[in-house]
Amino acid sequence: MPKVTFKSHEGDVREVDVAAGRSLMLAATMNGVPGVDADCGGTLSCATCHVYVDPQWIDRLPAMDDVENDLLENTACERTANSRLSCQIIVTDELEGLSVEVPERQF
Amino acid sequence: MSGLLIVGGSYAGLNIALSARQHGFDGAITMLTEEAFLPYHRPPLSKGYLTGTVDAESLPLRGEAFYRDNRIDVIFGARAEHVEPEGRVVTTKGAFRFDKLAFATGTQARRIPLAGADLDGVVTLRSLADADHIRERLEHAPSVVIIGGGFIGLELAASLAKAGKPVTVLEGLPRVMARVTGKVISNFVERRFAAEGVRILTATGVERIEGHQGKVTGVRDSHGVIHAADLVVMAVGAVPNTGLAEPLGLASGQGIHVDSCGRTANGAMFAAGDCAFGINLFAGREIRLESVQNATDLGKAAGAAIAGRTMPNLSVPWFWSDQFDMKLQMVGFSQDVQQEVVRGSLEDGKFSVFYLRDERIVGIESVNAVSDHVLGRKLLAVDHRVSATMLSDPAFNPRDLIASKAAAA
């Protein structure tokens, strides 16, 4: 089971297990990682599962589609070149060790 | 154990608990739910969960770790029967004491009292158990009739059509989703369903449900036509669960009365979510909203109030529905508007209807136009001025209304 790491805005680090094939959003919500609100449950409707992907990882993720790109225009915290919606990142064995930072707020 | 007692285990209940903790409430928090599950995402029940693309493991809003970390005790299978105002709720799982009580009781599916409504095979969809029940029945139901062409009725119809099931939708009003969208969207969606082979009959009520030996066999519509059915889904809206609050004088048929912070007239009692009726600051009037967004945001306001903080719900209401490949997103309201402007292309299936009142955009309804929707969630919250003429010009970018606002500030 791949391990992924969430860093909070305050610097707390939490490493969680996630079954390959599940989304990074689910890894956060199921493990009680604070700050990933995920209001719409991963249906690309809300933009409240925003994360900043570690620069070392950003280019190793599958590219985002237009809807995710559009939704990222509405994040509560500023969008950067490393911004992604965690619901659209499917965790695979290749992503073992993926690290992301959770923004200060989602709404 | 006293502390905060939350009746209801869905979006509002969860957000009340979380927000109370975040704002410093340190007492015990107990959540009562009638169901056997932790709070879960309901929108997939009529869509991915029904078609099998979403499984039960991905439904919970939060995993067990969340409840443990936030010291939220969830009592399953506890149906609250009545509230003693001195500080006790009697349930099927015993009595629970409270210092503060939050109603997050939601709604129940409305059932029209038609002849035949109690036949075997007439169902509603509200909970995970309902969805499992429908899934099971679908295996032995060659034909399905859905009564009601609102979000849930249409989402169900699309899911069934995708699975190759013949389905008929009966809608009493002249167009689908009349309560929640404007004409342009309704008409567009009706054409899309027709193209997918789904029969939608508008301005068609239901006279009675036909059966044989206790089992449903069809629906007789208001024109006297009988539509054969092995399964009939009543998707005709929902009624607020006010039974606990009414004897306390805190509710009417419209819902449990609250202010913009989710406070009832009783200082120890709060309410949020689909069951709550009260002033919506964006709408400027008292309403009861049925939506994930409102349950979440009013829940947060109520949780803050429970912790002694005044944080009114200022959110701009938004809604969504996914039907076939159409991503429908609504922000604000389209009632009592003076003008409407369509931007984008109906032909390409990507457009939005902008609704104006006094040269201000008060609502946007989008089909596969996510950037319009997300813009709306920001724009509708701030003061701005725009004419229908300006908005009709494809070269005009509504995003500039926010940009110019920021530049002026």
Reduced to 3 states (helix: H, G, I; strand: E, B; else coil), residue A9 is coil
- Which one of A24, A33, A39, A71 makes the best mutation probe of the B interface by having the most chain B beta carbons within 10 Å? A39
In this prediction, residue B409 carries a pLDDT of: 45
Q: Give a three-class secondary structure readout of B353-373.
A: EEEEECCEEEEEEEECCHHHH
The span from the CA of B257 to the CA of B307, in Å, is 20
Which two structure tokens, joined as six digits, stand for B126?
């509200």
In this prediction, residue B335 carries a pLDDT of: 87
In this prediction, residue A96 carries a pLDDT of: 96
The pLDDT tens digits for B268-316 are: 999 999 999 999 999 999 999 999 999 999 999 999 999 999 999 999 9
Strand B285-287 versus strand B276-280 pairing type: antiparallel
Q: Is the pLDDT of residue B267 over 60?
A: yes
In this prediction, residue B1 carries a pLDDT of: 55
Residues of B in contact with A47 (CB under 8 A): 374
Contact B63 A74 (CB under 8 A): no
In this prediction, residue A76 carries a pLDDT of: 84
Mean per-residue pLDDT, B218-238 = 98
Residues of A in contact with B377 (CB under 8 A): 74
How close does chain A come to B207, measured CA to CA in Å? 37
ipTM: 0.95
- A67 and chain B in contact, CB less than 8 A: yes
In this prediction, residue B2 carries a pLDDT of: 80
- A44 and chain B in contact, CB less than 8 A: yes
Which two structure tokens, joined as six digits, stand for B193?
């369903």
Residues of B in contact with A76 (CB under 8 A): none
B105 Ramachandran zone, left/alpha/beta (phi>0; psi -120 to 50) = alpha
Q: Give A15's strand partners.
A: A5
Confidence band of B191 (pLDDT split at 50, 70, 90): very high
How close does chain A come to B320, measured CA to CA in Å? 7
Helices in B70-181 by DSSP H: which ranges?
128-138, 151-162
Task: Name the residue facing A29 among B63, B375, B377 (closest C-beta).
Answer: B63
**pTM recorded for the entire structure:** 0.96
Return mean pLDDT, chain B. 96
How close does chain B come to A6, measured CA to CA in Å? 15
Contact B60 A39 (CB under 8 A): no
| Cβ density class A63-99: b for 16+ within 10 Å, e for less | ebeebbebbbebbeeebeeebbbbbbbbbeeebeebb
Integer-rounded Cα radius of gyration of chain A:
12
Confidence band of B404 (pLDDT split at 50, 70, 90): low
The pLDDT tens digits for B107-153 are: 999 999 999 999 999 999 999 999 999 999 999 999 999 999 999 99
- B292 and chain A in contact, CB less than 8 A: yes
Strand B199-201 versus strand B206-212 pairing type: unpaired
Q: Is the pLDDT of residue A74 over 50?
A: yes
CA end-to-end span of chain B: 51
- Which one of B49, B58, B329, B373 makes the best mutation probe of the A interface by having the most chain A beta carbons within 10 Å? B58
The span from the CA of B128 to the CA of B307, in Å, is 31
- Neighbour tally for A23: CB within 10 Å: 20
In this prediction, residue A3 carries a pLDDT of: 97
The span from the CA of B64 to the CA of B228, in Å, is 45
Q: Is the pLDDT of residue B408 over 60?
A: no
Name the percent of chain B lying above pLDDT 90. 96
Q: Is the pLDDT of residue B333 over 50?
A: yes
| Smallest CA–CA distance from A41 into chain B, residue | B41
The span from the CA of B403 to the CA of B409, in Å, is 10
